[in-house]
């Protein structure tokens, strides 16, 4: 039998892949400014694959109806935020069964101690999350998500860097043991990407699971609630409005949100707020945020009014994704010695 190797024909554009879990009813502004805005830009010069990580969401107790609803809401928010299903492959992780199959192969290449040393597993179990096997093997499934599509680049923040490193390690381990079959991905660090912090704890990143309701700016929140959360944002006992993350984390976070949405530089904002108080800053940030997300909310409402169209978009994206995934798994199965199914 002739051995198959990884694709040698260069792609028209480098492939990039990223995903988000459907773990809440709404993405927050940190998801939007830190990830989704960049996804939209990357469509222009990359072969983009974006997915809803519904299998990963099963690592915590989940109500089935809520998960289905949140999955549709998440993909609708991708589209409302500017992801174009005509230019990007947009799909659900569970609609491509090869994710789970390659995830098992990655499990079999990973040592128990190696898995238990992963930062996210240690952090979540330390905070009381159930230490189920799915949580332990989460990074192996994430590796499969990436390697399944011959992904050249993966947009990552610091909190995901370790997971990309184990992906690269597993790809190299597979290729060394079985022969070249998997593309080793590179991190894609987006320059100037906004890191949005919790409004109530501005030393911590805004998080769907870690932030309190008052610490979040949810994209689907009522505008009055958004403004209220911003008005109650933690600042400091000084009065000067300046960017100083070490000493003025809350004020700096508000300036970053304003700057990223309004397009004004931090220097320009500092100058405009000379002699003004924190109340003025918070009011202006609230106005900027509400104005920016209004068209997003209108588009979301339109999309959610037609769930059949959302399902059609996901089916189309999964069809293309599965074509790539199946090609990868043909190589993987042949390399590891699995007997081909009779036709």
Q: Is 283 marked active-site? A: no
Question: The tokens 């932030």 sit on which residue?
Answer: 211
CA–CA separation, 42 vs 88, rounded Å? 10
* Alpha helix (H) residue ranges in the chain: 29-31, 37-42, 64-80, 98-107, 112-116, 119-126, 133-136, 138-147, 161-178, 223-231, 249-262, 266-272, 278-304, 307-336
How many other CB atoms are found less than 10 A from the CB of residue 122?
A: 11
Distance CA 268, CA 286 (A): 18
Distance of CA 265 to the CA centre of its chain: 26
Is 124 assigned a catalytic role?
yes
Catalytic residue among 41, 73, 122, 208: 208
- Nearest CA to 35 among 149, 208, 155, 161? 155
Q: Which of 41, 122, 124, 228 is catalytic?
A: 124
Catalytic residue among 205, 214, 225, 283: 205
Scanning 81-137, the segments in alpha helix (DSSP H) are: 98-107, 112-116, 119-126, 133-136
Annotation marks residue 214 as catalytic: no
Instruction: Show which residues are catalytic.
Output: 124, 205, 208
């Amino acid at each position: 039998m002739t051995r198959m190797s990884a694709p040698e024909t260069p792609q028209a554009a480098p492939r990039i892949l990223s995903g988000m879990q459907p773990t809440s009813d709404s993405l927050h502004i940190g998801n939007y400014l830190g990830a989704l805005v960049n996804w939209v830009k990357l469509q222009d010069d990359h072969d983009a694959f974006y997915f809803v990580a519904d299998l990963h969401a099963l690592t915590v107790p989940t109500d089935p109806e809520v998960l289905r609803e949140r999955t549709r809401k998440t993909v609708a928010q991708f589209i409302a935020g500017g992801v174009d299903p005509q230019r990007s492959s947009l799909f659900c992780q569970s609609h491509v069964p090869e994710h789970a199959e390659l995830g098992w192969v990655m499990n079999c290449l990973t040592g128990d101690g190696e898995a238990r040393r992963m930062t996210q597993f240690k952090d979540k179990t330390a905070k009381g999350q159930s230490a189920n096997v799915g949580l332990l093997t989460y990074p192996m499934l994430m590796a499969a998500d990436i390697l399944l599509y011959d992904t050249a680049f993966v947009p990552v923040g610091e909190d995901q860097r370790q997971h990309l490193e184990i992906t690269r390690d597993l790809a190299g381990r597979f290729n060394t043991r079985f022969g070249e079959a998997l593309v080793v991905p590179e991190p894609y660090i987006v320059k100037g990407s906004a890191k949005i912090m919790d409004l109530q704890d501005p030393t911590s990143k805004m998080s769907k699971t870690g932030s309190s309701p008052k610490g979040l700016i949810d994209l689907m929140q009522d505008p009055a609630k958004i403004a209220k959360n911003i008005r109650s944002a933690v600042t400091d006992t000084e009065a000067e409005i300046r960017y100083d993350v070490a000493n003025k984390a809350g004020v700096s976070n508000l300036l970053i949100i304003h700057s990223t949405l309004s397009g004004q530089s931090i220097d320009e904002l500092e100058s405009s707020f000379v002699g003004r108080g924190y109340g003025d800053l918070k009011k202006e940030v609230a106005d900027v945020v509400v104005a920016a997300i209004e068209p997003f909310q209108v588009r979301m409402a339109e999309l959610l009014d037609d769930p059949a169209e959302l399902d059609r978009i996901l089916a189309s994206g999964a069809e293309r994704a599965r074509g790539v995934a199946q090609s990868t798994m043909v190589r993987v199965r042949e390399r590891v010695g699995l007997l081909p199914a009779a036709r």
